[in-house]
Structure 1
Amino acid sequence: MSWYVLVERNDSLGGDNTWVLSQKVAVDGGRDAAVARAEELCRTIGPREEYGRLVFRRSETSWLVELTREVRDGSRTWSHGSQLHVSVAELVHSEETPPAPQPKRPWRRG
């Protein structure tokens, strides 16, 4: 079928571990092209200025990207960041989303 780069984002604070699929990038050219596009996205996705970036290869087709920036509030300084999972995947099945049902009319007397 077709190849995609999937990006999952976790911006949660306070230990919440909720990942959300934030991007699906269709790639022409097969698996190798998708891997190359994923590697490029790892280096360029998200804010560039004022953020640090660490890119970890987890497998041949999966990366973890950590974006961090320093935040200053008066005399206090802390780091704030987000994490991204970037992975290559082949679409192997697809079904169209069915249309939403028409709302039922309220029953009226008369």
Structure 2
Amino acid sequence: MSMASTGHWYVLIETNTVYDGDNLWSLTEKLPVEGGREEAIGRAEELSLSYEPGPYPSAPETCGRTVFRTSQTSWLVESEQSLWHQGWTAPATLSQLMRITVAELVSARPAPPAEPPVKRGRLRRARRAD
């Protein structure tokens, strides 16, 4: 994260991926919001109704959406899409979960740059050929 000044408001978006039976949550968006807390809440509510994650987001008209407001500053969103490809015997439903949260940046410190590893052990001298 780049150095950002504290006291600014963000909308954070976490997405859920199911991989090999494990549910994995990851922070996929950190969206800065101009203004204060109320502007961030308004932006988060808009995103709860429209945001589609991923490199290839689905068109909103092809998805169902269930939105739960879990507190004054957070939402849980379930987006579903039904697909039926040629050759399939039945449709499949894809489901994506998202958590959308309003947050104030309290602290931000970038990680220090990595240092190259220190060589350890003895140095060997090359033998002279006689």
TM-score norm. by structure 2 comes to: 0.74
Match of 1:5 among 1, 8, 11: 11
CA deviation profile, 1:19-46 (whole Å, cap 9, x unmatched): 1111101112010010011011112211
Percent of matched pairs sharing the same residue: 41
Match of 2:117 among 98, 103, 109: 103
CA deviation profile, 1:19-77 (whole Å, cap 9, x unmatched): 11111011120100100110111122113422211111111100011111112252212
In our comparison, the structure showing a higher alpha carbon Rg is 2
Q: How does 1:1-110 map to 2 (within 5 A)?
A: 1-12=7-18, 15-46=21-52, 47-49=57-59, 50-73=62-85, 74-105=88-119, 108-110=123-125
CA distance in 1, matches of 2:89, 2:18: 25
Q: Show structure 1 runs of 4+ deviating over 6 A.
A: none
How many residue pairs were aligned? 110
Name the one with the larger strand percent. 1
- SS of the equivalent of 1:41 reads helix
1:11/1:81 contact within 8 Å kept = no
CA distance in 2, matches of 1:59, 1:15: 29
Q: Which moved more, 1:7-16 or 1:76-85?
A: 7-16
Structure 2 spans left out of the alignment, 5+ residues: 1-6, 126-130
Q: Which moved more, 1:63-72 or 1:97-106?
A: 97-106
CA distance in 1, matches of 2:17, 2:64: 15
